Amino acid sequence: FPQNSEAPDCWISSEHGEHGIEVTIAMSKAQAWAGKRLNTSGRSPGMPCLLDRAHSSEFSKWAENKRAMESVEHIFGTVPKGVEQALELKDKSLYAGMTLVIEVPLFRIDSNRWAGRFDHLVKKAKALQFEKVYLVGANETGDPFHLCLK
């Protein structure tokens, strides 16, 4: 994987030719803020359940809070919106025929509890230029998750 912003992130070669794979992270800004807080203060209440388009002041407010807690309902409402934003950012013709892999933050919620939470995004994924769209992730205890949207 090259460390640049060119598409795709990697090529897979097979007897059928080359196939481009594009990889992105839903809610990556939230993960970066959580890591920054952990590295600067030595502790963090976890990852903020904020979308990438949230204003920096919302992330700052989260970082100032010594005890930030999120309800499961809020997480179930926000994470699919983060995936939807990731899909919108990748809605470009240059990805035609490629595969999109989106890493999804699952917090500490069991993978089986995510069933059905992304069903409404199937139509949006099918409208994209990508040949295939996958969601992947693991919760903080290592429980794997994967879902094919297209």
Element (H, E) at 125: helix 122-126
Mean pLDDT score across all residues of the chain: 84
pLDDT at 102 over 90: yes
Q: What pLDDT is stored for residue 130 in this prediction? A: 96
70 φ/ψ angles, rounded to the nearest 5 degrees? -120, 140
Average pLDDT over residues 94-106: 93
CA distance linking residue 105 with residue 49, whole number of Å: 9
- For position 60, what pLDDT does the model report? 79
Q: Which comes out higher in pLDDT, residue 105 or 126? A: 126
Q: What is the pLDDT of residues 1-59, one digit of tens each?
A: 666 677 888 888 989 889 999 998 888 887 777 777 766 766 666 667 777 888 888 87
How much is the average pLDDT of 82-92? 93
Label residue 111 by pLDDT band (50, 70, 90): confident
SS (H, E, C) 24-91: EECCHHHHHHHHHHHHHHCCCCCCCCCCCCCCHHHHHHHHHCCCCCCCHHHHHHHHHHHHHHHHHHCC
The rounded percent of the chain whose pLDDT value lies above 90 is 37
